[in-house]
Amino acid sequence: MSHPDLNLLVTLDVLLTEGSVARAARRLRLSPSAMSRALARLRETTGDPLLVRAGRGLVPTPRALELRERVGQLVQSAEAVLRPVEILDLKRLERTFTLRNRDGFVENFGPDLIARVDEQAPGVRLRFVLKPDKDSTPLRDGSVDLETGVVGKATGPEMRAQALFRDRFVGVVRMGHPLCEVTMTPARYAAGRHILISRRGLDRGPIDDALAPLELKREIVTVVSGFSEALALARASDLIASVPERYTGNLRDGMFWFPLPVTLPEISVSLLWHPRLDADPAHRWLRGCVRDVCTGKTHWIS
C-alpha cells in the first residue's frame, strides 16, 4: 500500500488559500512549472480538479471548499507539533489580541481585564471590536483571537467553547420611574412602554413569546441593536429596557432593576476560539484572564 506524500498538504493549503497557481508558487518559492506539477499531483492524489478555470481566473471545486478548512487545521497542528516548546515569559511578551464581543462587554468587564493583563504582561495590547453577529469567519481567518457570546446555530461546529457564566434577563428603568414603587406583575410589565433589543431589527423577541400565553402584549416604542443604547434610552426616559443582568452590571449603575415577571430560559455566555489556538501558551493565558474576570475571580498571578 503506497503512502501519500504529506508534503502535498502544505502545497494544498497554500494553493487553496491563495486561489492562484502563480501566487501559491511565489509564496512557496517554486517556479510556475514546479507549482503546476504539484497541482497535477494533488489532482491525481485527491481525484478532483480542485481549481478550475472561470474566465481569466480559477475557482475552487466543491471538494476544494470542503478540504480548505480541514487542510489548514492539519498544517497548523503539524507546525505546532514540530515547534519547540517555549516557556511563556509574560513580562517579555509583546502581542496584540483582538477580542470580539457584544456591546456591554467592554463597559462591564473591560477595566478589570485590562488591569489584569497590564499587571501580568505589560507588553500585551487588547483590541476590542464589536460583534454584529455569530458568524465564525473572523475566528477562522485569524482576524479575531477570542470572542464571547451565546453559542448558536451560526457558530462554526469546529469552534472551541467554554462556558463563562449563566445569565438572566431583568427589566431596567430610571430611578423615580412609576414601576419602582409597585409589585411587578406580568400585566404591569406589559403595560409599560418598551425598548426592544434586536441586532437584526426584528419587531418581537423571546419576551413577547413569553407574554403571549398570558394574553398580554407589550408596547414596543423603539428598536435598538445593543444593550448600551437601550439602557441609555431607559436612563433618560420612562421606557423599559430588558437586558442580561450580569452582562450589563456596570451599565445599570444608578438605575432600578427588577426580575422579569415572565419565565425565560437563562442564557449561557461562553468563551469561543478557533482550535488552532488551543495549545498556544499566550492565548491560553489570555483565556484564563477573561475567564477569571468574567467569573469574578480576583486573584492575580504575577
pLDDT surpasses 70 at 117: yes
Instruction: Please give the grid coordinates belonging to residue 56.
Output: 481569466
- Which residues of the chain are in CATH 3.40.190.10 domains? 90-167+268-294, 169-265
CA distance 117 to 111: 10
What's the distance, CA 285 to chain centroid? 18
Look over the chain and give the mean of its residue pLDDT values, rounded to a whole number.
Answer: 89
Residue 293 — pLDDT band, cuts 50, 70, 90?
very high
| Whole-model pTM over 0.85 | no
* Strand (E) or helix (H) holding 117: helix 105-120
For residues 270 and 162, is the Cβ–Cβ distance under 8 A? yes
- Which residues of the chain are in CATH 1.10.10.10 domains? 7-82
Where is pLDDT greater, at 70 or 257?
A: 257
**pLDDT tens-digit series, residues 7-56:** 788 888 888 888 888 888 888 888 988 888 888 888 888 888 888 888 77
**pLDDT tens-digit series, residues 219-269:** 999 999 999 999 999 999 999 999 999 999 999 999 999 999 999 999 999
Per-residue pLDDT at 80? 66
**What whole-number percentage of the chain has pLDDT above 90?**
58
Q: Which fold has domain 169-265?
A: D-Maltodextrin-Binding Protein; domain 2 (3.40.190)
**What whole-number percentage of the chain has pLDDT above 70?**
94
- Alpha-carbon torsion (183, 188, 190, 193), positive or negative: negative
Q: Which fold has domain 7-82?
A: Arc Repressor Mutant, subunit A (1.10.10)
Under CATH, which architecture does the 90-167+268-294 domain have?
A: 3-Layer(aba) Sandwich (3.40)
For residues 196 and 220, is the Cβ–Cβ distance under 8 A? yes
162 backbone dihedrals φ, ψ, rounded to 5°: -135, 125
Per-residue pLDDT at 158? 87
CA distance 244 to 131: 16
CA distance 161 to 79: 23
Residue 157 — pLDDT band, cuts 50, 70, 90?
confident
Where is pLDDT greater, at 278 or 207?
A: 207
Question: Which range is least confidently modeled, 16-25, 104-113, 165-174?
Answer: 16-25
Report, as an integer, the average pLDDT of 207-227: 95
Per-residue pLDDT at 85? 58
Residue 3 — pLDDT band, cuts 50, 70, 90?
low
